[in-house]
């Protein structure tokens, strides 16, 4: 892979890191935000829900309204909006104000995410797309590895406002790097709302996108409130909490490193199937085993490995459905990911409020099984015709 392309992919990965950390930092800041804003933890978790729901709606609409513009322009615009919203959130005087900034951040992320994937896939030959997309989406993995634990630590030491301000500054720096390193000047194909609906209505692409929605919902039905779940289940808190989140992130790195090579070796379909099966098994084991911390740590690490093994092959599957419209497909998938994140976070709050943290993995297991059924359906479907 030429050095210039590798540098561009790393720049796109950095953009995903800002996006991922900006969306997930709330997970590590539930305690400080709840205390400062005098808001219950389940309400703080809804900041993630609102961000994700905004992303889910704005990603496809952004493609309809702006998809004909240069991909690089949309990438940079999304970065700037996301970064500015993070800075504004740092000065939020109330929960309502902070909620509004999360909506704005979701709009910026909705432009950024699909374009990062589309540009990354277009920089390399089809046989290298698995590795290229693993590099790009590696930024999301690093946001879990470094972003969430670092946000939790910084929020404890300096406060959550410092976290949001730092994220905004990092986003502006990544935008400057993208200006220099990402040379893509291509434009997406014009997209209509009808074309978008036809893509989702086609069985293969629709079920492929549904697989992502349910997979992400399954993870976030537990992960959105992982801090109180770890406290209730294993008695983990304080510095140990940051260590566990860091361990989860290290598992994510392993999964992301494996994803590209495994996808290129055994194929995207088999890799996705292994990821979904692995996560379902892990949630079953979490439910039936005693609350022994060493076992819990191992299961958290394996959860991270199997979870991050999913994204790169899924992106490759989308690119192969209709290469000419991969921007629309990536936007649809990104929308599904964040809709799933929103639905999973909302479900986590409901389950936690009524049944406690112990019931969270049950919701995750049910959703993961549904994701497996959608995946099987997408394998049996015929290829879509171009809209």
Boundaries of every domain in the chain: 3-380
Indicate whether 327 pLDDT > 70. Answer: no
Instruction: Tally the residues of the chain.
Output: 387
Residue with tokens 């709050």: 349
Q: 311 or 80: which carries more pLDDT confidence? A: 80
Handedness of CA 246, 255, 71, 12 (dihedral sign): positive
Sorting pLDDT into bands at 50, 70 and 90, what band is 385? very low
Contacts of 183 (CB under 8 A, 6+ apart): 4, 8, 72
Joined together, the tokens standing for residue 68 give 């004909």
pLDDT of residue 260: 77
pLDDT of residue 258: 86
DSSP structure class, residue 70 = B
Sorting pLDDT into bands at 50, 70 and 90, what band is 192? low
Three-class DSSP category at 187:
strand
Helix, strand, coil % (nearest 5) of the chain? 85, 0, 15
Contacts of 11 (CB under 8 A, 6+ apart): 174, 177, 178, 181, 182
pLDDT of residue 231: 85
- What is the mean pLDDT of the segment spanning 25-40? 82
Cα three-residue angle 17-80-308, rounded to 5 degrees:
20
Sorting pLDDT into bands at 50, 70 and 90, what band is 39? confident
Question: Is residue 71 a contact partner of residue 12, using CB atoms and an 8 Å limit?
Answer: no
Q: 342 or 286: which carries more pLDDT confidence? A: 286
pTM above 0.85, yes or no: no
Sorting pLDDT into bands at 50, 70 and 90, what band is 386? very low
Dihedral of the alpha carbons of 103, 170, 45, 137, in degrees to the nearest 10:
90
Residue with tokens 């993630």: 48
Indicate whether 382 pLDDT > 60. Answer: no
Average model confidence (pLDDT) across the chain: 84
Element spanning 216, H or E: helix 203-223
pLDDT of residue 238: 66
pLDDT of residue 191: 65
Percent over 90 (pLDDT), the chain:
29
Question: Is residue 113 a contact partner of residue 19, using CB atoms and an 8 Å limit?
Answer: yes
pLDDT of residue 384: 47
Percent over 70 (pLDDT), the chain:
92
CATH superfamily of this structure's domain 3-380: MFS general substrate transporter like domains (1.20.1250.20)
Q: 318 or 245: which carries more pLDDT confidence? A: 318
Nearest residue to 74 via CA among 55, 53, 59, 54? 59
Radius of gyration over alpha carbons of the chain, in Å? 19
Three-class DSSP category at 381:
coil
Residue 135, burial from CB neighbour count under 10 angstroms (0-12, 13-18, 19+): buried
pLDDT of residue 341: 80
Cα three-residue angle 311-262-270, rounded to 5 degrees:
70
Sorting pLDDT into bands at 50, 70 and 90, what band is 188? low
Indicate whether 256 pLDDT > 80. Answer: no
Indicate whether 254 pLDDT > 60. Answer: yes
């Amino acid at each position: 892979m030429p050095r210039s392309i590798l540098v561009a992919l790393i720049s796109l990965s950095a953009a995903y890191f800002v996006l991922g950390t900006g969306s997930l930092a709330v997970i590590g800041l539930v305690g400080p935000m709840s205390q400062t804003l005098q808001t219950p933890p389940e309400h703080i978790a809804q900041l993630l829900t609102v961000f994700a729901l905004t992303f889910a709606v704005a990603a496809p609409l952004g493609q309809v309204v702006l998809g004909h513009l240069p991909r690089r322009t949309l990438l940079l615009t999304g970065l700037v909006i996301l970064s500015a919203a993070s800075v504004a959130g740092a000065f939020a005087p109330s929960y309502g104000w902070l909620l509004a900034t999360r909506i704005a951040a979701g709009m910026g992320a909705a432009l950024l995410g699909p374009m990062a994937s589309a540009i990354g896939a277009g920089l390399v030959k089809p046989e290298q797309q698995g590795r290229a997309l693993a590099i790009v989406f590696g930024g999301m993995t690093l946001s879990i590895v470094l972003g969430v634990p670092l946000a939790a630590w910084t929020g404890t030491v300096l406060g959550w406002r410092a976290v949001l301000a730092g994220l905004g500054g990092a986003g502006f720096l990544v935008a400057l790097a993208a200006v220099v390193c990402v040379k893509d000047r291509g434009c997406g194909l014009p997209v209509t709302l009808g074309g978008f609906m036809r893509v989702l209505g086609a069985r293969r692409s629709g079920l492929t996108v549904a697989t992502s929605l349910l997979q992400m919902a399954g993870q976030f039905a537990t992960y959105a409130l992982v801090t109180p779940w770890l406290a209730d289940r294993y008695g983990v808190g304080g510095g140990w909490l940051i260590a566990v989140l860091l361990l989860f992130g290290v598992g994510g790195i392993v999964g992301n490193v494996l994803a590209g090579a495994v996808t290129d070796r055994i194929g995207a379909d088999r890799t996705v199937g292994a990821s979904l099966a692995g996560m379902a098994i892990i949630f079953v084991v979490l439910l039936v085993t005693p609350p022994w911390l060493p076992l819990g740590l191992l299961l958290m690490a394996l959860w991270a490995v199997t979870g991050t093994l999913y994204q790169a092959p899924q992106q490759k599957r989308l690119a192969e459905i209709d290469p000419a419209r991969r921007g629309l497909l990536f936007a649809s998938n990104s929308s599904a990911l964040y809709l799933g994140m929103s639905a999973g976070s909302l479900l986590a709050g409901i389950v936690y409020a009524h049944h406690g943290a112990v019931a969270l993995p049950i919701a995750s297991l049910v959703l993961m099984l549904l994701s497996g059924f959608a995946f099987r359906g997408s394998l049996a479907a015929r290829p879509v015709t171009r809209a």
